[in-house]
């Protein structure tokens, strides 16, 4: 049986010293992703510069049975790119080329380390864009978007990443090269690209991704309305959807999120409001002109305190800057926070928001709410101070109750952040044992040794050793156990 030192020797022959990181000071930068409560030091980091670097590294890992984790910008909020203590991180940031952009066919072929917004920037001169727009779009990578099927503020109209991926060239965990889908928008047979999207790195690593581009809207109509209760804002969303309007985006922020965003970027949200609803119409000028009259009538009847329309692109950008910066802005209110990502049916938004407020009071924590209201995707930000003993566990217990509230209402434990490390324990709340067994059999079809992102998603998987905390906070709080 090969030891890790054997594996390391082979990697040292493959890569120059500066691209095989083993010094503790270098490894520290890869210990956490966006879920910073957890940290694991990997044994080594491979900084890939070519697809062949990735392929050969995976083949070496497969030969040795060494776990590996793909990492782009490390923006996962579910511990999805948390390293394995006995494994290797494969860093993909330097694989960031746009290999092809065909405006006639409306496709782009990119490497996994390509930044999300870089694709739209390249497509902009051709009147096109890449539609998925997660809040971390300035830094997150397409490979990560594919792994977690990212959405964003405009997923209500455009759908998730999986709706915009036509083809994937990947290396599976056993070192085989596969090609899924193609560049055509018309495909037959099983949707294998859809299977790969959202697989959270359990199958292998995408090397080339063929993306669908869509026309940029001719014009926008962006409005925010403030309310004296979260419930009113949630009910307004239900009314807008029931009217059969299809906005490009429907977003809600609560009082704490408004306070944080205003302090950070001065977006112009009215302080003191319990909630702000952002509605954006987009499309042709005639379509938007027609729809904005209907929207105005709905908002006037909704009980809004303030209704404000963006007068130009600068004002629109300011409104969205406040929303997009909300997660990081909450850092002004609390030294630490957990970002949850559950989904409830739209018709139950008001009820869900009331319950989140009650849950927060019971656990004596503050919760800021920011969410994609159009598809019921909640993003409660649970604040705590990690310097206080037991505070993290208290926050996680609150988060667990919110997640279980979502499944009780007929929703989901995740909308776009993935299951990752944090929500493995809740998978059985949504799926039966037979369902999970089937998922694991599919995973082993791509990864017989279960070395690709080992320990993620499945509740009975081998979890990475958490070097800073030892136990998952939910175990400490008695919410979950590994029996």
CATH number, position 121: 3.30.465.10
DSSP 452: B
| Helix%, strand%, coil% for the chain, nearest 5 | 40, 20, 40
Domain co-membership, 223 together with 203: no
- Among 329, 356, 377, the domain-final residue is 329
Task: Residue 424: name the closest of 382, 386, 466 by CA.
Answer: 466
Domain co-membership, 168 together with 258: no
Domain co-membership, 102 together with 206: yes
Residue found under tokens 């959202």? 198
Q: Is residue 50 part of a domain?
A: no
Sign of CA pseudo-dihedral 451, 456, 457, 463: positive
Domain co-membership, 133 together with 235: no
Q: Is residue 246 part of a domain?
A: yes
Domain co-membership, 207 together with 228: no
Strands 68-71 and 88-91: parallel
- Domain with 319, as residue range(s), is 219-329
Strands 107-110 and 165-172: unpaired
Domain co-membership, 187 together with 272: no
Q: Is residue 157 part of a domain?
A: yes
Encode the chain (483 residues) as per-residue pLDDT tens digits.
578 999 999 999 999 999 999 999 999 999 999 988 889 999 999 999 999 999 999 999 999 999 999 999 999 999 999 999 999 999 999 999 999 999 999 999 999 999 999 999 999 999 999 999 998 999 999 999 999 999 988 998 999 999 999 999 999 999 999 999 987 777 777 889 999 999 999 999 999 999 999 999 999 999 999 999 988 998 899 899 989 999 999 999 999 999 988 888 888 888 889 999 999 999 999 999 999 999 999 999 999 999 999 999 999 999 999 888 888 888 888 999 888 999 999 888 888 988 998 999 999 999 999 888 888 899 999 999 989 999 989 999 999 999 999 999 999 999 999 999 989 999 999 999 999 999 999 999 999 999 999 999 998 766 554 433 333 444 444 433 333
Q: Is residue 24 part of a domain?
A: no
CATH number, position 258: 3.30.70.2190
Query: Which residues make Cβ contacts (< 8 Å) with residue 90, sequence separation at least 6?
Result: 45, 46, 48, 54, 57, 58, 68, 69, 70, 71, 205
- Our count of domains for the chain comes to 2
Domain co-membership, 102 together with 211: yes
Q: Is residue 199 classed as helix, strand or coil in its secondary structure?
A: coil
Q: Is residue 231 part of a domain?
A: yes
Domain co-membership, 195 together with 106: yes
Domain co-membership, 105 together with 209: yes
Q: Is residue 258 part of a domain?
A: yes
Domain co-membership, 293 together with 231: yes
Domain co-membership, 209 together with 103: yes
Distances (CA, A) of 265 to 153, 260, 261, 341, 400: 18, 9, 6, 24, 31
pLDDT of 471 reads 39
pTM of the model: 0.90
Q: Token pair for residue 280?
A: 């954006």
Q: Is residue 31 part of a domain?
A: no
CB-side exposure of 106: number of CA atoms within 13 Å?
Answer: 14
- Do the Cβ atoms of 185 and 246 come closer than 8 Å? no
Q: Is residue 38 part of a domain?
A: no
- What digits encode the pLDDT tens for the residues 29-43? 999 999 888 899 999
Domain co-membership, 204 together with 233: no
- Among 190, 215, 240, the domain-final residue is 215
Q: How far apart are the first and last CA of the chain?
A: 30
CA distance 154 to 416: 13
- Among 215, 245, 270, the domain-final residue is 215
């Amino acid at each position: 049986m090969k030891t890790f030192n054997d594996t390391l020797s082979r990697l040292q022959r493959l890569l120059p010293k500066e691209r095989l990181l083993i010094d503790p000071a270098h490894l520290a930068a890869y210990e956490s992703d966006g879920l910073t409560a957890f940290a694991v030091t990997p044994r080594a980091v491979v900084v890939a510069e070519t697809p062949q670097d990735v392929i050969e590294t995976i083949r070496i890992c497969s030969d040795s049975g060494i776990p590996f984790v793909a990492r782009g910008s490390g923006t996962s909020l579910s511990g999805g790119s948390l390293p394995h203590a006995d494994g290797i991180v494969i860093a993909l940031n330097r694989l960031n080329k746009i290999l092809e952009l065909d405006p006639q066919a409306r496709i782009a072929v990119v490497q996994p380390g390509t930044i999300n917004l870089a694709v739209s920037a390249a497509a902009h001169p051709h009147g096109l864009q890449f539609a998925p727009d997660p809040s971390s779009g300035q830094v997150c990578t397409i490979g990560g978007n594919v792994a977690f099927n990212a959405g964003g503020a405009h997923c209500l109209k455009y759908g998730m990443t999986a709706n915009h991926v036509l083809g994937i060239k990947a290396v599976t965990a056993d070192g085989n090269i596969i090609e899924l889908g193609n560049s055509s928008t018309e495909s037959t047979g099983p949707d294998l690209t859809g299977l790969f999207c959202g697989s959270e790195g359990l199958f292998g690593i995408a090397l080339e991704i063929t993306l669908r581009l869509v026309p940029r809207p001719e014009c926008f109509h962006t409005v925010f309305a403030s309310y004296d209760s979260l419930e009113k804002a949630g009910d307004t969303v239900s009314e807008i959807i029931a009217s059969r309007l299809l906005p490009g985006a429907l977003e809600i922020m609560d009082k704490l999120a408004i306070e944080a965003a205003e302090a950070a970027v001065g977006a112009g949200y009215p302080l003191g409001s319990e909630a702000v609803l952002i509605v954006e119409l987009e499309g042709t000028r005639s379509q938007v002109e027609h729809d904005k009259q209907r929207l105005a009538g709905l908002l006037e009847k909704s009980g809004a305190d303030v209704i404000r329309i963006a007068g130009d692109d600068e004002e629109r950008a300011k409104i969205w800057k406040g929303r997009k910066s909300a997660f990081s802005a909450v850092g002004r209110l609390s030294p630490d926070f957990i970002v949850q990502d559950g989904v409830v049916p739209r018709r139950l938004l008001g009820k869900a928001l009331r319950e989140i407020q009650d849950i927060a009071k019971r656990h004596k924590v503050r919760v800021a709410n920011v969410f994609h209201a159009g598809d019921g995707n909640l993003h409660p930000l649970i604040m705590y101070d990690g310097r206080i003993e037991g505070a993290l566990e208290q926050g996680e217990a609150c988060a667990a109750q919110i997640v279980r509230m979502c499944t009780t209402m007929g929703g989901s434990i995740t909308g776009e952040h993935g299951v990752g490390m944090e929500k493995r324990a809740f998978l059985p709340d949504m799926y039966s044992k037979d369902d999970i067994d089937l998922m694991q059999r599919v995973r082993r079809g791509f990864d017989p040794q279960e070395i690709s992102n080992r320990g993620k998603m499945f509740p009975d998987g081998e979890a990475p050793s958490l070097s800073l905390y030892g136990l998952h906070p939910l175990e400490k709080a008695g919410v979950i156990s590994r029996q």
